Amino acid sequence: MRFNDTTVFVTGGGSGIGRESARRFAREGATVVAADIDADGAAETVEQIAESDVAGTAESVELDVTDAEAVQDAVDATVEAHGLDVMVNNAGISHTSGPMEEVSLTDRDRVFGVNAMGVWNGCRAAIPHLKEQGSGNIVNTASLAGVIGQPWSSAYAFTKGGVAKFTRSIAGELGRYGVRANAVCPGFTDTPMVQGGLEDHEDPEAARDSLESQYALKRIGEPEEIAGAIAFLASDDASFVTGHELVVDGGYSAL
């Protein structure tokens, strides 16, 4: 069990990659806090963990990651109750696909608030605790879109590229304190966000087939596969890995 006697805080833990990350960490022995603005989704994640034969435990918290004070309070409460070893800043959203100049300022600010400032708020809340104890890990969910760009998703790609480089920046600051920071950069993954985007097409099945044809593995990723990469980066198996942008894209960038 790689995460026995560790506490993991996961934002966006109510669905998709966040839910599967929470489940993965609990399966490997961790105490998990699943945080999400969707309180019911986070509670369902915890229920799934409780009903599974796993070594770890879980609890949920309703959290808007754009609210810096609320994030600080949630992380502080976790530290007081359980300690903190791993901070997974995973909460993220996208926007309607379209030309950059047609993205509304409202959508731009919403995406920046969750994807960029949400990660900033999570790190700002967790870092003092991790530095003080002289150990710990931060894993931020960026995206392949933040590495190679993604036409028609300008605000999303902007924020995810920022997350990747921000992660490198803090890794340089934190190494001397025994704290590692890495980013996972998934390609398209079969999450509610991606499923919703496909449903917006006139023929969702054809849109999925077209998307999957662009991957070397001829399919998009599963949330469990991204969760595995996140768990790796947070584990001692990656003890000499920090400041890294781990692309997990089924070979999309190889074609």
Based on its alpha-carbon atoms, the radius of gyration of the chain, rounded to whole angstroms, reads: 17
Lookup: tokens for 84 = 């903190």
What's at 251, amino acid-wise? G
Q: From the candidates 156, 177, 215, 252, give the one annotated as an active-site residue.
A: 156
CA distances from 27 to 44, 140, 183, 212, 220 (A): 16, 20, 22, 30, 24
Of residues 155, 137, 135, the one with CA closest to residue 146: 155
**Sheet of strand 179-186: strand arrangement:** 57-62, 31-36, 7-11, 86-89, 136-141, 179-186, 245-248
CA distance 167 to 184: 10
Q: 156 catalytic, yes or no?
A: yes
Residue 61: name the closest of 97, 28, 33, 85 by CA.
33
In whole angstroms, what is the distance from residue 115 CA to residue 149 CA? 15
Matching residue, tokens 């340089």: 172
Candidates 41, 172, 162; CA nearest to 113 is: 162
* Continuous segment of H or E residues that includes residue 179: strand 179-186
Q: Which residues are catalytic?
A: 156
